[in-house]
Amino acid sequence: MFCVLGVITVSFYSCLKADASGCPYKETTIKAPDAEVLKVKEYLDGKGINALKDSSGVYYIVTNSGSGTVTPEVCSTISINYTGKLTTDSVFDKTDGTPIVLKLGSLIPGWIAGLKHIKGGGQIKLYIPPSLAYGSVGATRTDQNGNTVVVIPPNAILIFDVELVAVQ
């Protein structure tokens, strides 16, 4: 299975210049539109899920705050295991049990906002509005026959179970 997270938002940040520390990523204050946040809330209410809301519009449930001393920042290198699902419970991507290592700033804004609520060793469930993920574009891949397959439909709410194995 391919790793959607490795490529999802590099294009959002690829034009940024590095600061004095060499980090090419900048903190963002992007917020989901109220209508999207309301749709996520309606989904959660319909499922009887009680989650907290970040100022960005991401809803989250911390299942383990972590025992580490470092909270990830946009320029942090993170080691993670995760499963990504649609609201239909269809899994669109997941790690195979071996953590992957990524720069937090290269990921979708919903992850950047959400992972700041835990430390290394923590676990969190994220409910991400479309504009903090793939928005109206969605995500596709090419199958072995060269056909385009929709992996994430446009305007999809995404659900991620994330284990933040380590933060550097």
Q: How many whole angstroms separate alpha carbon 165 and alpha carbon 77?
A: 11
Summarised one tens digit per residue, pLDDT across range 55-77 is 999 999 999 999 988 899 999 99
- Are 66 and 73 spatial neighbours (Cβ–Cβ below 8 Å)? no
Paired tokens of 79: 């080691």
**What are the helix (H) ranges across the chain?**
10-13, 34-47, 109-114
The structure's pTM equals 0.86
- Burial (CB count within 10 angstroms: exposed 0-12, middle 13-18, buried 19+), residue 138: middle
**What per-residue confidence (pLDDT) applies to 27?**
78
CA distance 27 to 110: 12
Q: Is 59 left (phi over 0), alpha (psi -120 to 50) or beta?
A: beta
pLDDT tens by residue, 22-53:
788 787 788 999 999 999 999 999 999 999 99
What's the CA gap between 157 and 168, in Å, rounded?
Answer: 29
Confidence of residue 16 (pLDDT cuts 50, 70, 90): very low
Q: Which domains does the chain have, with CATH numbers?
A: 30-167 (3.10.50.40)
Find the mean pLDDT for residues 141-159.
96
